[in-house]
Structure formats: structure tokens, C-alpha cells
Structure 1
Amino acid sequence: MFFAMNRFKIAIGHEEAFEAIWKGRDSSLSEMPGFQSFHLLRGDTNAEEGFTLFASHSIWASRDDFIAWTKSENFRQAHKNAAADKGIYLGPPKFEGFSVVEGA
């Protein structure tokens, strides 16, 4: 099992726009072999630094399944408009990938 996460720092005041982008996109994740689940998580707001933390979190049967997703036409289509919304991001997303060591 493989967990893929991206952390996003979203400028304060743009949280709803960021959520709408994710809710409105057609990712076709469910069509991908090995895909198990997806969540968009909203974290705390850091007023001092001017952002709200978000994380996208997907679970895959294997790292190879995730890599196949990132190389697919479905991935390109799901991310084709990402550059248009750069004003809401404070820097690029930070990717973190994890393989399960132990689980229940």
C-alpha cells in the first residue's frame, strides 16, 4: 500500500476557491488501477505567515500504481489548469510519499 500526499500553503482568503477547484475537477482517479481512496484535508491557518495548510491524500495498492497515475493522460487532464490558479498558492506543493510498514 502507498500513500501519496501533497501539502499546499494557500493564501488566506483563497481557501474556498482552492476547495472549489478540487471539488470541481474531473480526476478520473477511480478509473486508475490500484487507486483506493482520496481525501482533501484542510489544516490550520497560520495568520502570522498568511496561509492555510491543505493536503491531498490518496491511497494506492502500490507505489507503481501511483507512478502510473502520474504518467497517465488522466493525470494530465486533471492538472491541465493548475497554472491558472497560481495566485492562491504560496509556493509549490510539497509531495510526500509513504509505503506502509505496519497497519491494522
Structure 2
Amino acid sequence: MIVVTNRIPVASGHEIDFEDRFRNRVHLVDQAPGFIRNEVHRPKPMKFDHETGAFVPDPQADGYYEVKTWWESLDDFVAWTRSDAFAEAHANRPPKEMFRGPSQLDVHEVFLTTDESRGES
């Protein structure tokens, strides 16, 4: 199993529009062979305050939204990116000003999980 993470730097003031794009998506990826699940993570820029022993907001930190998809295999993910459904899902590009920089794509292989439904890999 692999997890693909797209780290997206959303510009200040565009968060609601960005989130609405995912709330209103057409769910084409959900039907792709090998697809397991999709999650969108909202940034919560925090830091640990050693004096108080608490997490506190960090207004100077640059947070990133993370769009994560889980796949049975890398081949399944690659097939999705080459599909007509992928092209359709990404056809309505958001305006460039929605972002404060380029996104970063990371791929990780799951070698251990505590998800009992998935078992150990």
C-alpha cells in the first residue's frame, strides 16, 4: 500500500474557496482501481511551548494543506494519473492567486500500520 501526499500552500484568504473545491469534487478518484481513500488535511500551525508544556498557535509558521490518497500499489496510482478520469477531475484549474507557491508531491510506502482492517504489510 502507498500514500500519496500533495502538500499545497494555499494563499491567505483563499482557504474557504480551496476547501469548497474538495467538498464539491466529482469523486472520480473514488472509482479508480486500487484506490482506498482520500483525506484533505487543514493546516494547524502550532509549536510546543516548553515553558508551559502546551501547544500554542504559531502565526509565523507556513502551513500547508495536505491532500492524501491511499492506494493498493504505486501502479494503481500511476494508472489513475494517466487516466481520462484524472484529466477530467483536474480540468477546472483554480486561479493561480489561490496559492502562495508550488505544491509538493510525496509518495510513501506503508510498511507498518495499526489499522487492523489492513493488517501488517
TM range (shorter): 0.7 to 0.9
Matched residues in 2 for 1:15 and 1:47: separation? 15
SS of corresponding position for 2:9: strand
1:3 aligned residue:
3
User: How far is 1:53 from its partner?
Assistant: 1.7
Give ranges in structure 1 of 5+ residues lacking alignment.
none
User: How far is 1:24 from its partner?
Assistant: 1.5
1:88 aligned residue:
98
2:109 aligned residue:
99
Matched residues in 1 for 2:27 and 2:79: separation? 14
Matched residues in 1 for 2:59 and 2:10: separation? 11
TM-score, normalization: structure 2? 0.76
> Which residues of 2 match residues 2-81 of structure 1 at below 5 A?
2-45=2-45, 47-48=59-60, 52-81=63-92
Q: Give the structure with higher Rg (CA).
A: 2
TM-score, normalization: structure 1? 0.88
Higher helix share: 1
- % identical aligned pairs: 30
2:119 aligned residue:
none
Matched residues in 2 for 1:68 and 1:27: separation? 16
Query: What is the root-mean-square deviation in Å for CA atoms of aligned residues?
Result: 1.6
After superposing on structure 2, the runs of 4+ consecutive aligned residues of structure 1 that deviate more than 2 Å are: 44-49
Q: Give per-residue Cα distances to partners, 1:61-99, cap 9 Å, x unaligned.
A: 0010000000001110111122x4211111121000001
Q: Give per-residue Cα distances to partners, 1:25-51, cap 9 Å, x unaligned.
A: 2141121110000011001257447x5
Give ranges in structure 2 of 5+ residues lacking alignment.
46-57, 115-121
Checking the alignment, whether the CA contact within 8 Å between 1:27 and 1:75 is kept in structure 2 is: no
Checking the alignment, whether the CA contact within 8 Å between 1:7 and 1:93 is kept in structure 2 is: yes
Q: How many residues align?
A: 102
SS of corresponding position for 1:81: coil
